[in-house]
């Protein structure tokens, strides 16, 4: 017993002598590899530290002036190395893994941000606070996002949600399951996703499947011209109101998903 106590004491003392893990330092040069990550970085107060972004990083406007180092064809590892970043923001679901492993092998710090729902957007902002020169801004952005999301949820809750079809494209015809942020936007506004029970996040469906579930509303991502196309697609087959949401707000898993909800909620609330 005495020998055990001595061993335990020595282990505890050894543990006390170990250096504590260093907290992340504010990043000086940052690269974002997805448009939604660029928006998250700006919201977290890291806009001035961004030195490279992905294609379609166009919000806020100053993001479009930054050098593009990634697109749908891949990641320009050589150019990223030349820019000497101390932090790369990556999207595990959309960025190829091999070039990210190359960057890490060169000593470049890579963190993954993969928001799957509204709560994850707030968590991503909090995660970025550790690397932001203005962590209070990132924390406040997360707090404000949560508060506004919860306010929408309370204001637009319906005992009988509106049956709705989230439509992407026409040929083929795609929709979203409950495992997507787009479905969450619908639900927070008092809608019921008619394909929420799909086993895959982005199922391809047929007209017959949609008609059999009789949606009262069709929610799309697009402008007024796109709305007219969808109305024509369902003409004489389905009497459902078509609601078009700002594409970037509705498609990107970032802070502006809140704007998509704020755009949709009043329109659903106006329905009987």
Domains of the chain: 30-149 (3.40.50.1980), 157-269 (3.40.50.1980)
DSSP three-state, residue 244: strand
Q: Which residues contact 114 (CB under 8 A, 6 or more apart)?
A: 91, 92, 93, 120, 253
| pLDDT over 90, % of the chain | 86
Q: Which residues contact 185 (CB under 8 A, 6 or more apart)?
A: 250, 257, 260, 261, 264
pLDDT of residue 23: 56
Give the whole-angstrom CA distance, residue 122 versus residue 106: 30
Please, what are the averages of pLDDT over each run of 10 residues along the chain (272 residues)?
Answer: 38 37 78 98 98 97 97 95 97 93 97 96 98 98 98 96 96 96 98 97 97 97 91 93 96 97 97 86
pLDDT of residue 9: 37
220-243 pLDDT per residue, tens: 999 888 999 999 999 999 999 999
Is residue 24 left, alpha or beta, with left meaning phi > 0 and alpha meaning psi from -120 to 50?
A: beta
Structure tokens at 141: 């952005």
Quick one: 164 exposed, middle or buried, by C-beta within 10 A (0-12, 13-18, 19+)?
Answer: buried
DSSP annotation string for 117-135: SHHHHHHHHHHHHTT-S-H
pLDDT of residue 225: 87
CA angle 31, 34, 40 (to 5 degrees): 75
Question: Is residue 131 part of an annotated ligand binding site?
Answer: no
């Amino acid at each position: 017993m005495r020998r055990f106590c001595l061993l335990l004491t020595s282990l505890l003392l050894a543990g006390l002598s170990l250096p504590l893990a260093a907290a992340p330092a504010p990043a000086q040069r940052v690269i974002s590899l997805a448009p939604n990550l660029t928006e998250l970085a700006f919201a977290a107060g890291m806009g001035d530290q961004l030195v490279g972004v992905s294609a379609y990083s166009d919000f806020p406007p100053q993001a479009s002036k930054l050098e593009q180092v990634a697109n749908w064809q891949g990641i320009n590892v050589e150019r990223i190395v030349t820019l000497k970043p101390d932090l790369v923001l990556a999207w595990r679901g959309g960025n190829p893994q091999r070039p990210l492993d190359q960057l890490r092998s060169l000593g470049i710090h890579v963190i993954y941000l993969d928001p799957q729902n509204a709560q994850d957007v707030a968590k991503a902002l909090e995660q970025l606070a550790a690397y932001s020169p203005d962590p209070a801004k990132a924390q406040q952005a997360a707090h404000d996002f949560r508060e506004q999301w919860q306010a929408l949820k309370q204001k637009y809750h319906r005992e009988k949600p509106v049956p709705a079809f989230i439509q992407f494209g026409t040929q083929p015809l795609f929709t979203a399951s409950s495992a997507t942020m787009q479905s969450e936007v619908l639900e927070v506004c008092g809608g019921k996703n008619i394909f929420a029970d799909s086993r895959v996040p982005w199922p391809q469906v047929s007209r017959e499947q949609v008609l059999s579930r009789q949606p009262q509303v069709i929610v799309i991502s697009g402008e007024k011209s796109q709305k007219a196309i969808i109305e024509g697609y369902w003409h004489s087959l389905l009497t459902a109101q078509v609601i078009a949401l700002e594409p970037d707000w509705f498609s990107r898993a970032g802070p502006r998903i809140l704007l998509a909800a704020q755009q949709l909620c009043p329109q659903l609330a106006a329905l009987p």
